[in-house]
Amino acid sequence: MTAMALRVSGAERPTWRGIARCVGCVAVLLIAATSVAALQATLHVSDAAVLRTSFLGALAARDWQAAIAAGLELERATGGWWQDRYNLACAYERAGEREAALNWLTQSVAAGLHRVRTIDEDGDLAALRKDPRFVAIRAAVVRNWNAYAVEVRSRFHETPPIVVLPKGYDATRPAPLLIALHGHGGRADGWPVQWREVTERMGVVLAVPQSIHSLGAGFTWGGPDEAELIVDLTLERVRSEVAIDPSLIVLTGFSQGGYMAWAIGLRHPERFVAVIPMAGGFLEGVDVVPPAPVEGAPRYLFMVGSHDRGIGQTRQAAKAFAAAGYRTELRIYRSTGHSFPMALVPELKRALRFALGTTS
């Protein structure tokens, strides 16, 4: 453990609820507890951002009537963002107003809602999913996803993942593969710097895909569905070019990428030998960890700084995964915030050894 840390660009998490299990890394909902007046005075954010913060704060507090009022005001101010409309649908459903919930969910679909797994899994919509009208809404979301997936594939091929081969790579001997997902506002070309030395020395192929959504000088993940498709495309591409051991594929990510990593790992436990979420988000009671498969369950290694504001979430995640039967390890780095540990190479080596079940 170390008392210092290496800062990472784009470490901030998204602040919208954004459908918690979809976007993840919503620990910043803590900021929603700050008064609107204080936000205006200290952060100088736009009116829409203040309204959204108020909306998210009410959702986090489960004050459905306040959330509805703030969401309607936000809708009038912005003209309709599908995430906001989706959250309004959830608030109305929780408030027992089914017709309004269906209306706003339909409007969310019209504005671009394409996350099929979200509407299938979100606890806020559990009762609404039993309504016969939900079938048509879900079908529209599937159509949106199919159209969106075409765009994701096109953008992926325009910016293929960075692939780094280990030193002395032998094409006749399949190698382990590490797929690393950048954080909110990060870039693929910033990741080999963190992992390259370790993977090159340990005989592991490194693949670093990039999301398709620009955010300043970096990129952000649109949600687990999109991230999962990009991981699938990355696997296809790497396998077509490099000899990979399918039983030794590791998935990792930092911050928002860490959330995406464990979410994808849960969806496909048969695909990964281990998952390493680094400072990723987790919402107890929202993010559900199913029981580990009897055979072939991936290992989960959680890495987080002691001063990371998401440390509580990470502790909850490690506890939930262990309780579900996964082999789990939690590593907390002293005096470290939302960043990598300063003793980076040794820690990444330890992480990869744990993931691969080796000591070398």
Residue pair 15/56 in contact by the 8 Å Cβ criterion: yes
**Which residues pair with residue 153 across a beta bridge?**
none
Which among 35, 225, 212, 192 is positioned nearest to 120, based on CA atoms? 225
Domain boundaries, the chain: 15-154, 160-356
Q: Is pTM beyond 0.85 here?
A: no
Q: Which fold has domain 15-154?
A: 1.25.40
Which among 158, 162, 171 is positioned nearest to 212, based on CA atoms? 158
Q: Is 160-356 a domain of CATH 2.60.40.10?
A: no
For residues 207 and 181, give the distance between their C-alpha atoms in angstroms, rounded to a whole number.
9
- Which residues are CB-neighbours of 132 under 8 A, at least 6 positions away? none
10-residue stretch averages of pLDDT, the chain, 360 residues long? 31 34 30 34 58 90 94 89 94 97 97 92 93 97 96 95 95 96 94 88 96 94 93 97 96 96 92 96 77 93 95 94 96 94 91 88
Q: What is the pLDDT of residue 142?
A: 97
Q: What is the pLDDT of residue 343?
A: 87
For residues 114 and 314, give the distance between their C-alpha atoms in angstroms, rounded to a whole number.
28
Angle between helical axes of 82-94 and 64-78 (0-180°, round to 10): 160
Residue pair 115/263 in contact by the 8 Å Cβ criterion: no
